[in-house]
Amino acid sequence: MTKYVANTDSGGPTERGHCRWCRRALPVQQGPGRRRTFCSQRCRQWDWVARQRARELELSDNELVVAREELDAMHDELYVLACAVEDVERDLGAPGRRTVTELRDGLEWLLGAARPLRDREISPSGGRLERGKENSSS
């Protein structure tokens, strides 16, 4: 797990890690006690389900099973982001000065292409988790 160490006003370091499931940054934790490894009970449950499935399928820690639909959707979103980056690089590389409106439009285009990737969550089955059990609709 990646951790960031920063000095605090109290003089001691604080550790900030990432959720073991969704990789979102965890809040800074100060004081004694065990460090958090998940951002929510939902992520803790998904991690448990994934570990159980990996054990059943005899997968190593470095192997991952992802639904084809989710992988295709992620590739599509990466393609859109790559196109946005190329468009903005080309626009910024062209001779002449840019207006604030042109710069803002380029930034909005980049952000719009990046948001779906930022917000993407990949579930172990592509399904939904309901009351601690997987909803197997396929």
Predicted confidence (pLDDT) per residue in 25-69, tens digit: 888 888 888 888 999 999 999 889 888 888 898 988 788 777 888
Residues 113-137 as b/e (b if ≥16 CB within 10 A, e otherwise) read beeeeeeeebbbbeeeeeeeebeee
- Look up residue 129 and give its two tokens: 């988790």
Q: Is residue 22 part of a domain?
A: no
Q: Is residue 90 part of a domain?
A: yes
Q: Is residue 103 part of a domain?
A: yes
Grade residue 15 by pLDDT with cuts at 50, 70 and 90: low
Three-state DSSP state, 29: strand
Q: Is residue 28 part of a domain?
A: no
Q: Is residue 101 part of a domain?
A: yes
Q: Is residue 6 part of a domain?
A: no
Q: Is residue 108 part of a domain?
A: yes
Segment 71-92 shows an average pLDDT of 92
pTM above 0.75?
no
Q: Which residues are within 8 A (CB) of 43 and not within 5 positions of it... i.e. 6 or more apart?
A: 19, 20, 21, 22
Domain enclosing residue 111, as ranges:
67-120
Q: How many domains does the chain have?
A: 1
- Look up residue 132 and give its two tokens: 């601690």
Predicted confidence (pLDDT) per residue in 99-137, tens digit: 899 999 999 999 999 999 888 876 655 444 333 333 444
Q: Is residue 8 part of a domain?
A: no
Q: Name the H helices within 5-127.
A: 41-57, 68-93, 100-119
